Structure 1
């Protein structure tokens, strides 16, 4: 066990530290986080619409559904201003967070990022009219403003910012001697860098269209984004990301924070596509998405540590451990695992390495195959990360009662995995630190 921990410390921990310090990745992570209000509002709109529809179709509550129709219409409007503009808003957030990370003009960078994204998506839209498909030129393809254009927003938002920031740092700007208000001075300082960045992105897209006959956003969607998202549906990929998150957390690094650029770019894109499909009355295209990890494995936080808390309360005889578990129970119910991770601790504790890694892997593997077999709805609604276990899966799977059964089974399995190690920790602690030490009166 000590050899495994030492190997992880020597090879994995330095890599995780380096990844966590890359400012581009930090900005990408923060951009996703900053859109959480948009994600939650759009998901709530889907939940409301699904609830009213289920009451109408499954329960026969036609009067209730009719009375709730104004709320459904409001939810449709909310959807149009949230998820249907997700990539557009993400480009804005990405430019802002990049400028924040690199200490540049945040508003100007956000505008350049959005402009670069808009330049890179198709200016040809297809609409249906009396059953016929009509092509409209010089019009944005609104579908790419949603999660469909997320990778385009990431790539060209970053390119636009990089060019802008390089010019800004090189002081390529108009020199004015007159005293002006700060807002005007900042705008003039960013004028030339922004123009150079926007025209450069326009040139890149023009040359690409000239050589390939395709819009870069369309090419990116079919060549990179869709294959990556489909790759994320593979069992090995899902297990690998789960393993890495647990290992990083074991060393005290926020594994979700370190890997959030990967998690959000691949699995959040899939989740948003599921939400869009459900909202439009279609079958969700993806089985495993970003929220699947949270609702089926990471109850109590990474590692499923809520079940460690329960295992300590049920099986541990040490008063100090039980006290920490009692303190950690309420946060754990709302998926906040830091009190038990750092209070027990689990971090850098070789006794708990195996269950901390194995329990989520077993839960994810079981839930993955149950979802593949169609025994439970895939996650198709984003729920807040603080939503308690059992309730969270039920809502995330769009009111599927089978998700409750699956989450209970996973929690029992995790409890059984944690149990022998809790007992072993008791024995080890008893040998090294007798109880009388902790009962000393101060």
Structure 2
């Protein structure tokens, strides 16, 4: 054990420490954190829609049982969609969803540009503007396809009566670009990360090289600051636009489509493999064992790959609700390669860890606390357990990780690694076998265990059972090591 620990301290920890402090990755992590308010607002809208449509049906199904529920006539299935005020709230939530999840890629673009520019120590507001402009510069114009579908062309302007005569006497040039919503949601993340980084880095380097327009001191600071960013912004946006243009001419396709097809999709398909999920889970625990914040170190993978899949599930759930999600899963539409009419459901997303694995935080430490309070005979452990119980209920486990400590604690290293791996396997298999719905809603990470799983799966009552099973299994894994720790002497104070 000591040999393994020394090897990891020598070779793994320095690499992880560098990753955790690398400014581009730190900026990326902070960018995902920055869009959390919009993500959770969209999740709230999805929950309201679920309460109106799915939640009453889930309760009815739980009371009657799946067989009797399936035999109900449509008019006998509970719903609140037509209830006054509640139905209006559902419609308002649709607008909230439109302003958050539908354009979450656009929101992320600003957050990414802002945080990356801040990492370079330059005008962060202008950095956000550069990233947003970079996104829109590369979006393919859908207007020609739209007009072709309507049978409208310059040669037949009379056909514009189909669209209220907006084009009458003006020709197609009167139309502004039309962008697809699918290019502004979470599907744009990879393009924003790559092209946005390129543009903002060019902008930042020119700012740092002082290739700017300097205004007299008499000019108000806000105006002077804006003028400083003009040349770097022009250069950056023209540079990425030139790349967009050349690639479009060479491939007859847009950069966002190419990145999605050749970079994002392979990573996301690979992410649904159980081994990928287990590897990430394992390294989160390993990093924490050495005192490094595992989810933060691996945020580029967790948030860059699994978070967009979760947002895709959430956006889809808002439209089709639980029955639609189950239908897609049953028909095998579990990745983009097997999408049905463009729709697919990911079985494992970023929120799956919080719902079914990391109870009380990484390692499932809420069950460790319970095992300590029940079985431990050590006063120091019981003291830390009592202090860590309340935060642990809300998935804050730093008091336990550093108070026990679990960090560099050889006796707790094994359960800290094994417990989440076993929980992942159980949850993954249960989801794959359709015993429980996949996670379809971004629930705040501080939501207590069991409730988190119930809300995250769109009020699937079976998620409660799965969460309880994983809690029991995790508790059973931690308990023998807590009992074994009783034989160790308490440290002298």
TM-score, with structure 2 as normaliser: 0.84
Task: Tell me the distance in 1 between the aligned counterparts of 2:186 and 2:83.
Answer: 31
2:10 is matched with: 10
3-state SS of 1:428 partner: coil
State the distance in 1 between where 2:371 and 2:57 align. 42
Kept after mapping to 1: 8 A contact 2:53/2:81:
no
1:363-402 matches, within 5 Å, as: 363-402=423-462
1:113 aligns to 2:131 (yes or no):
yes
Aligned length: 432
Kindly state the Cα deviation for residue 366 of structure 1 after the two structures are TM-superposed: 1.2
Aligned to 2:469: 409
Indicate the SS of the match to 1:302.
coil
Q: Which deviates more, 146-155 or 74-83?
A: 146-155
Counterparts of residues 209-220 of structure 1 (less than 5 Å)? 209-220=248-259
Cα contact 1:56–1:64 (8 A) shared by 2: no
Structure 1 residue 177 displacement after superposition = 3.6
Select the residue among 201, 209, 214 that pairs with 1:175: 214
Match of 2:481 among 415, 418, 421: 421
Structure 2, unmatched stretches of 5+, are 61-76, 154-174, 326-343
Q: 1:145 to 1:66 in 2, by over 3 A?
A: same
C-alpha distance after superposition, 1:39-85 (max 9, x if no partner): 11101111111111135656544567422111001100000000011
For 1:56 and 1:357, how far apart are their aligned partners in 2?
A: 39
**What secondary structure, in the 3-state scheme, does the structure 2 residue paired with 1:335 have?**
coil
Q: Distance in 1 between matches of 2:135 and 2:81?
A: 43
Specify the alignment match of 2:162 in structure 1.
none
Q: Counterparts in 2 of 1:245-256, with a 5 A limit?
A: 245-256=284-295
- For the residue of structure 2 that corresponds to 1:263, the secondary structure is helix
Partner of 1:141: 180
- Checking the alignment, whether the CA contact within 8 Å between 1:370 and 1:376 is kept in structure 2 is yes
Which of 116, 136, 143 is the aligned partner of 1:98? 116
Contact 2:437 2:463 in 1 (8 A): yes
Question: Structure 2 vs 1, CA of residues 321 and 370 (structure 1 numbering), >3 Å: closer, same or farther?
Answer: same
**1:66 corresponding residue in structure 2:** 83
CA 1:300–1:207 in 2, change beyond 3 Å: closer, same or farther?
Answer: same
Partner of 2:156: none
Match of 2:39 in 1: 39
Give the Cα–Cα distance (whole angstroms) in 2 for the partners of residues 206 and 127 of structure 1: 19
Task: Specify the SS of the correspondent of 1:280.
Answer: helix
Deviation at 1:138, TM superposition (A): 2.5
| TM-score normalised by L of structure 1 | 0.94
- Structure 1 gap ranges (5+): none
- Contact between 2:55 and 2:459, CA under 8 Å: does it hold in 1? no
| Mapped partners of 1:210, 1:416: distance in 2 | 60
Deviation at 1:320, TM superposition (A): 2.0
1:383 alignment partner, SS class: coil
Rounded Cα–Cα distance in structure 2 between residues aligned with 1:386 and 1:360: 18
Q: Deviations over 1:371-416 (max 9, x none)?
A: 1111100000010000000100000011011111111111111111
Contact 1:126 1:133 in 2 (8 A): no
SS of the residue corresponding to residue 387 of structure 1 reads: coil
Q: Which moved more, 1:313-322 or 1:184-193?
A: 313-322
Are 1:89 and 2:107 matched, yes or no?
yes
Where do 1:29-428 residues align within 5 Å? 29-54=29-54, 59=60, 60-62=77-79, 65-67=82-84, 68-124=86-142, 138-177=177-216, 179-281=218-320, 282-283=324-325, 285-428=345-488
Distance 1:289 1:17 in 2: 26
Contact kept, 8 Å, 2:190 with 2:260, in 1: the verdict is yes
Could you say if the C-alpha distance between residues 137 and 228 of structure 1 is closer, same or farther in structure 2, counting changes exceeding 3 Å? farther
The whole-number CA distance in structure 2 between the counterparts of 1:228 and 1:354 is 29
CA contact (8 A) 2:349 2:439 kept: yes
Structure 2 Cα separation of the partners of residues 179 and 210 of structure 1: 47
1:328-356 residue CA offsets vs partner (Å, 9 max, x unmatched): 11111110001111111111111110000
Show CA shifts across 1:85-140 (max 9, x none): 111010100111011111110111110111011111212258889x9799998322
SS of 1:300's equivalent? coil
Contact 2:214 2:224 in 1 (8 A): no
Partner-residue secondary structure (3-state), 1:12: helix
- Residue 159 of structure 2: aligned partner: none
1:178 Cα deviation from its structure 2 partner: 5.2
Deviation at 1:286, TM superposition (A): 0.5
